[in-house]
Structure 1
Amino acid sequence: MTDPVDRFAARPLVAHYDAPRAAGEPDLAARLREAFGAAGHDPERLTLDAIAGIDQLHLGGRRASRSLAARGELVPGDRVLDVGCGTGGASRLLAAAFGSEVTGLDITPAFVEVAQWLSRATGLDDRTHFLCADAARVPLPDASVEVVWCQHALMNMPDAAAVLAEWWRLLVPGGRVLLHEVVAGDEASPLLLPVPWARDAATSHLRSRHALEALLTAGGFVPVAVQDVTAAALEWRRKHSRREGEAAASGPALPGPGLIFGEVFAEMGRNLRDNLAADRVRIIEGVFRQSSPPSHS
């Protein structure tokens, strides 16, 4: 069977999202287990509230995921593919709050390992399953999901057209794409780096909203509802920058993104805030429906 991950192509992303491990620290699961224990929580019995700081690594956190799910009109029993699932937070939210059957997919092995553990620890492993695979080569059959869900992942994917072709293949006829994505803004000055999705330009593949929507159209998807949610995302990032500064001075606490990205996360958060404020990046939330076959097929 063909390996669903091109290990060479995945190396820059794995190096970015699991940098502390590459620097010789314990693996991500071990770091998180130790942190939960230090905060007085049994790592094998956790609540969704306890893991909130590490389970949704995108602007807006659980609130943004709930907004996207409502816009996409999810119904119980929908089969959902969560592309770029990270540690699996959106997958668990969709299973717990919306009755979805979710398969999470990520190219970073450490994220998939942690996602599986956190789903077991929160009692959601019967409705969430995780694959380590490239989004352009998903080891699932045709027409196997009603919904493709993607939050802050396409900007890490250099060949978005190939990824969208997979989405079209995997969706049932008339299926939906629910997208919450970082896009390039109108300000042409260079992006302040590092940011949460990239330490340098090699792993950042930002596209303008117009370019992304053109790719979706060429990929056989029509917009149902698309909204710019940058203002809300910026407010959320400003609030969390303040919280992260306070948490750094208050001693042991529940784990947050710093345990995943390392000490550089504080700088990443500030840069993201400033990029949003300067219109170097924007955030869109949208629903797209599968329509005609891709124009390049």
Structure 2
Amino acid sequence: MSADPASPTPSLAGHYDAPGHAGGEPLVARLAAAFRAAGCDPGHLSLDEVAGIDQLHLGGRRASRHLAALGHLSSGMRVLDVGCGTGGASRLLAAELGCETLGVDITPAFVTAAEWLSRATGLAERTRFLCADAARTPLPDRRFEAVWCQHALMNMPDTAAVLAEWHRLLVPGGRLLLHEVVAGDNREPLALPVPWASTPAASHLQTRQALEARLAEAGFVPETLEDVTESALAWRQKHSRREGGGEVPAGPTLPGPGLIFGERFAEMGRNLRDNLAAGKVRILAGCWRLA
């Protein structure tokens, strides 16, 4: 993410907080109102209640738990959550594994929401958040035992600069955990919009081969790498049915990603489903160590 964190590019800010960027209420105000409408106290929320808006990646919390297991994360580890969005992975790692987490995102509305959600879930003392460019953070060298990144590299045009920054921030032998969208074998144009991009210029997908080569050049040694496309597609198909009204939830509906992305989110979800099914994108999950 190469934009100035104090003023992200209009396309990026407009994409990730479309209602707020269009002059609507701030993201936190929209979310708080939606939680009240669902019968929840916005000042005291559970991790289950916020799961729909703090895990903005394929597979939700299950995918995050799987990635944590691949990286053998444990209590006390210092983890940098890059492209943290609204902070769901940071909170999950802190609450379930006892990690010390710092989430970084370039979108100010996401960072503000992440801080609010951590306060509301009682995790403000165990999670911190920073609005910054992933390629240029104001953090000290060798600060973290692990770098964590889910569905964010495809928004970063300068992969080499980002990987160099991660190399700087990790302790010797530190771990890099990636859950990433990559280009598939079907090179036909993507159906757009998708959750990470509304235009081709905003999407920086790499092939698996290119990503692995860049990681090796940056000094990262692979430990485990899985193609989790089939499970991601099944998860996306289920959620597309729900978003399209095919599954009627019992009771009040908790806030979901539509409040963040706006009215087009259902279309984004359908397009992502179709791109996965057509082999235009694939999903990887893996762990690397700093050589």
> 1:201 Cα shift?
1.1
SS at match of 1:191: coil
| Structure-2 residue corresponding to 1:75 | 74
Report if the CA contact (8 A) 1:5-1:132 is conserved: no
CA distance in 1, matches of 2:24, 2:13: 15
> 1:248 Cα shift?
9.2
Correspondence 1:1-297 to 2 at 5 A: 5-7=4-6, 10-246=9-245, 253-291=253-291
In the superposition, the TM-score normalised over structure 2's length comes to 0.96
CA distance in 2, matches of 1:125, 1:8: 25
CA distance in 1, matches of 2:7, 2:262: 23
One-letter code of the match for 2:195? P
CA distance in 2, matches of 1:121, 1:205: 34
CA distance in 2, matches of 1:144, 1:11: 31
- 1:169–1:159 Cα change, 3 Å: same
One-letter code of the match for 1:254? L
CA distance in 2, matches of 1:247, 1:168: 45
- 1:26–1:14 Cα change, 3 Å: same
CA distance in 2, matches of 1:27, 1:9: 16
Identity %: 69
SS at match of 1:20: helix
SS at match of 2:272: helix
Unpaired stretches in structure 1, ≥5 consecutive residues:
292-297
CA distance in 1, matches of 2:221, 2:151: 20
One-letter code of the match for 2:281? V
> 1:8 Cα shift?
5.7
One-letter code of the match for 1:234? L
SS at match of 1:256: coil
Report if the CA contact (8 A) 2:5-2:131 is conserved: no
> 1:242 Cα shift?
1.1
Task: Write the deviation string for residues 117-173 of structure 1: whole angstroms up to 9, x where unpaired.
Answer: 000000011110000000001111000000000000000000011000000000000
Residue-pair matches, total:
288
Report if the CA contact (8 A) 2:134-2:162 is conserved: yes
| Structure-2 residue corresponding to 1:294 | none
- 1:110–1:248 Cα change, 3 Å: farther
> 1:25 Cα shift?
1.1
In the superposition, the TM-score normalised over structure 1's length comes to 0.94
> 1:177 Cα shift?
0.2
> 1:245 Cα shift?
2.1
State the superposition RMSD in angstroms: 1.5
